[in-house]
Amino acid sequence: MSKQNKQPLLQRPAVVGVLASLLFIVIGLVLGFVLLVLLNPGESVNGMRAMLTTGFSSMDKLGKVLYQSAPLMMCGLSVGFAFKTGLFNIGASGQYTMGAFFSLLCAIQFQLPWFVCLLAGAVGGAIWGIFPGLFKAYFNVNEVITAIMFNWIGMYLVNLLLANMPMMLASGWGASNSDRTAALSAANPGAILPKGPLAGLFGNSSWINISIIITILFAILVWVILQKTTFGYELKACGLSRDAAQYAGINSKRNIVLSMVISGALSGIGGGIYYLAGTGQYVLEKSILSMGFNGIPVALLASSNPIGTIFSALFISYIQVGGAAMQPAFSSETIDIVIAVIIYLAAFALLMRGVIAKLVSGRKEKGGAAK
């Protein structure tokens, strides 16, 4: 019997982590409901019902949940991977944007098939992830600062490049608008992710494709890297204590850079997978895409566990689809408030976990005393 199994079920760190995440979700949802009641009491129950049930209301909506959860999962994996190695990757948004750009570049400009485009997305994200890593390892600049700066640099750079590539824009393919990239159905149907085995299940839902399968495979891959390889062990050692890892002969500088590159690549794939679905076109934005930031709550809810990320991404995507259905009575941003509450609670997750562990063991002791 392994050591872990000797511990009582409710005191295992993984179980406490799941309980804590469920508690965050419940608190977030309750506060969201309170907000709805304050804003519009008459509609509040309907709004809450829309938030919580829309995702399962039809196969089409369920397809949308899966479609949106794929990029979220990749961003969550990216942020979580960096967390495991002691880094806070707030730059997932910029890496996601870069990944989207590289993918679309291969898809539209170079007319390549979807799997090449997806790989290109990984390369784009990795390039954008290497900067925070290099700055942290060699110039001792906090990765949060570098990542924030590169989020903005990435957004402006992509805007600048796209505006000057007539072939990339929708206007280059017969459409009238020049503020977004070309629709893949017109430019290169071969770059659209196939529906694969899911086609039969979801019929002709426009949302569904194999992205969810790809991302789940990536989640498993990341779990294997972190748990079963020497490389993953070294990365985690650097995350726990950089000095101790250095002392043990691990090249911590190299590991910081590599960890950010992998993290960036994961976000980049997220950007690719979202736009290669063919349903969305990249719009030249004035503000940073929120998808990368939503990777943060996904990772936090999963306590950075890659397998947990699958479920937390599905959950976040589920309430986002529900949030869109709350309109027009409530703005769909209500969901962002719920998510913000969850992140806020997760910020003192350690403390919360301590409280939960104490509650659980406290009840046990009482029970024991009563006997």
DSSP character at residue 289: -
Spacing of C-alpha 363 from chain mean position: 36
* Contact flag: residue 340 with other proteins (CB under 8 A): yes
Size of the site for other proteins (CB under 8 A): 52
Cβ proximity to other proteins, 80 vs 278, nearer residue: 80
Which of 34, 156, 177, 241 is the binder for other proteins (CB under 8 A)?
Answer: 156
Site residues for other proteins, 7-46, by CB under 8 A, read 35, 39-40
Look at residues 143, 148, 182 and name the one whose alpha carbon lies nearest to residue 166: 182
* Contact flag: residue 351 with other proteins (CB under 8 A): yes
Which of 194, 348, 354, 363 is the binder for other proteins (CB under 8 A)?
Answer: 348
* Contact flag: residue 160 with other proteins (CB under 8 A): yes
* Contact flag: residue 153 with other proteins (CB under 8 A): yes
Which of 149, 216, 283, 360 is the binder for other proteins (CB under 8 A)?
Answer: 149
CB 33 within 8 A of CB 43: no
CA distance 153 to 159: 10
CA distance 344 to 175: 43
Look at residues 293, 227, 274, 359 and name the one whose alpha carbon lies nearest to residue 100: 274
Sole window of 3-11, 114-122, 266-274, 295-303 interacting with other proteins (rule: CB under 8 A): 295-303
Sole window of 1-9, 100-108, 260-268, 294-302 interacting with other proteins (rule: CB under 8 A): 294-302
* Contact flag: residue 343 with other proteins (CB under 8 A): yes
Distance of closest approach, residue 187 Cβ to other proteins, in angstroms: 20
Sole window of 53-61, 218-226, 246-254, 283-291 interacting with other proteins (rule: CB under 8 A): 283-291
Give 2-53 as a DSSP string: -HHHHS-GGGSHHHHHHHHHHHHHHHHHHHHHHHHHHH-HHHHHHHHHHHHH
* Contact flag: residue 146 with other proteins (CB under 8 A): yes
Look at residues 95, 94, 96, 116 and name the one whose alpha carbon lies nearest to residue 105: 116
CA distance 131 to 147: 8
The contact pattern for other proteins, residues 46-85, with x = CB under 8 A and - = no contact, is ----------------------------------------
- Work out the number of other CB atoms within 10 angstroms of the CB of residue 279: 16
Look at residues 318, 275, 276 and name the one whose alpha carbon lies nearest to residue 294: 318
Positions in the binding site for other proteins (CB under 8 A): 35, 39-40, 88, 90, 131, 135, 139-141, 144-146, 148-153, 156-157, 159-160, 163-164, 284, 286-288, 293, 296-297, 300, 327-331, 333-337, 339-341, 343-344, 346-348, 351
